[in-house]
């Protein structure tokens, strides 16, 4: 299915420039949103807890910093950029009571709206502007005169111009310089979770670990195994990122390309694809979301156990030693 893509000529900068915007949170995305919007001529304030360690950084960057309640009370557009698991509490305790008819509630990920953990009143807009890149890249590209493409979504159009607000906000981030892709909260949420779980984080990490373990259990040195299945992964991904799979295949040896076609389908096979479909089904029916929220409410017990397991895996110990040899990696 073809998607609609919009650019700067399709946006109305005056829309967001005529509104007061609150950025709730000042992490990776929060700092990029706040600074880019400020530099685009938007009236921005950052809402943070009194004890937030980020408050001074935001002030030093020239931003107005207030508590979350004040930010929500002052603003016409409220962008919530705290972690998914904290958003419902932040919304209920500090934002909901300050919403006025015609306000816009904004997100950069659809998790809480799509799964119903946040339910906005019918008289406010609900939009999403989701840059397809980490915050430091969103900020860097903006300062260099470019921008990171954004997904733009409207879940609820209470004012009749929610799309104008969303597009204008994305213009302020710099996303319209590269392209704004029209999407939905459902598609963004489900595709994002699936990509993270099956490929980018879950699938990739487990494949690297399995390759490392296969080699070391067969008696190969851990250091060499690390280089082959971990270190060189970035080189391959960079080639694909720059110009596609065909360019990566052009850049590697014929031996490597031949092995790709022979071995790839053996690793990612019918069983792997069945597992991917099961992962997607659990995302679609809300099972994963509920499991995640339950673990959050249990003090992240399972998450912390898994984090400790991967942090103590031999591949991480080996990697720490190998990376100390790389003078070009920032310590």
Q: Could you give the residue numbers annotated as active site?
A: 109
Query: By the 8 A CB rule, do 173 and 129 touch?
Result: yes
Q: How far apart are CA 88 and CA 116, in angstroms?
A: 10
Q: How far apart are CA 122 and CA 132, in angstroms?
A: 28
Q: How many CB atoms lie within 10 A of CB 33?
A: 30
Three-class DSSP labels, 144-201: CCCCCCEEEEEEECCCCCHHHHHHHHHHHHCHHHCCEEECCHHHHHHHHHHHHHHHHC
**What does each C-alpha distance from 140 to 42, 133, 219 come to in angstroms?**
18, 11, 44
Q: How many CB atoms lie within 10 A of CB 26?
A: 27
Sequence-separated (6 or more) residues with CB below 8 Å from residue 32: 131, 135, 136, 138, 139, 142, 173
Sequence-separated (6 or more) residues with CB below 8 Å from residue 117: 87, 88, 111, 289, 293
Tokens describing residue 230: 């971990």
Strands (E), the chain: 5-6, 20-24, 43-47, 64-66, 77-80, 104-107, 125-131, 150-156, 180-182
């Amino acid at each position: 299915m073809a998607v609609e893509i919009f650019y700067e000529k399709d946006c109305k900068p005056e829309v967001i420039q005529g509104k007061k915007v609150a950025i709730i949170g000042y992490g990776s995305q929060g700092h990029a949103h706040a600074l880019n919007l400020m530099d685009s001529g938007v009236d921005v304030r950052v809402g943070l807890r009194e004890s937030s360690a980020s408050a001074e950084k935001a002030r030093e960057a020239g931003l107005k910093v207030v508590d979350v309640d004040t930010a929500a009370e002052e603003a016409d557009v409220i962008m919530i950029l705290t972690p998914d698991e904290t958003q419902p509490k932040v919304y209920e305790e500090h934002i909901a009571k300050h919403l006025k008819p015609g306000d816009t509630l904004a997100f950069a990920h659809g998790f809480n709206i799509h799964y119903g953990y946040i339910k906005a009143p019918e008289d406010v807009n609900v939009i999403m502007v989701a840059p397809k890149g980490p915050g430091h890249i969103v900020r860097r590209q903006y300062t260099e005169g470019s921008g990171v493409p954004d997904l733009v979504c409207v879940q609820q159009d209470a004012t009749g111009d929610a799309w104008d607000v969303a597009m204008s906000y994305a213009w302020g981030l710099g996303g319209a310089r590269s392209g704004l892709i029209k999407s939905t909260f459902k598609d963004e949420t489900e595709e994002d979770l699936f990509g993270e779980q099956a490929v980018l984080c879950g699938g990739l990490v487990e494949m690297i670990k399995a390759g490392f373990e296969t080699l070391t259990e067969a008696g190969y040195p851990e250091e060499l195994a690390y280089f082959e299945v971990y270190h060189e992964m970035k080189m391959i991904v960079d080639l694909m990122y720059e110009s596609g799979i065909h360019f990566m295949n052009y850049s590697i040896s014929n031996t490597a390309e031949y092995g790709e076609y022979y071995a790839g389908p053996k690793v990612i096979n019918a069983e792997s694809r069945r597992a991917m479909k099961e992962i997607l089904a659990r995302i679609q029916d809300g099972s994963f979301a509920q499991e995640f929220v339950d673990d959050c409410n249990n003090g992240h017990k399972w998450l912390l156990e898994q984090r400790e397991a991967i942090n103590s895996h031999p591949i991480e110990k080996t990697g720490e030693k190998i990376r100390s040899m790389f003078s070009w990696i920032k310590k």
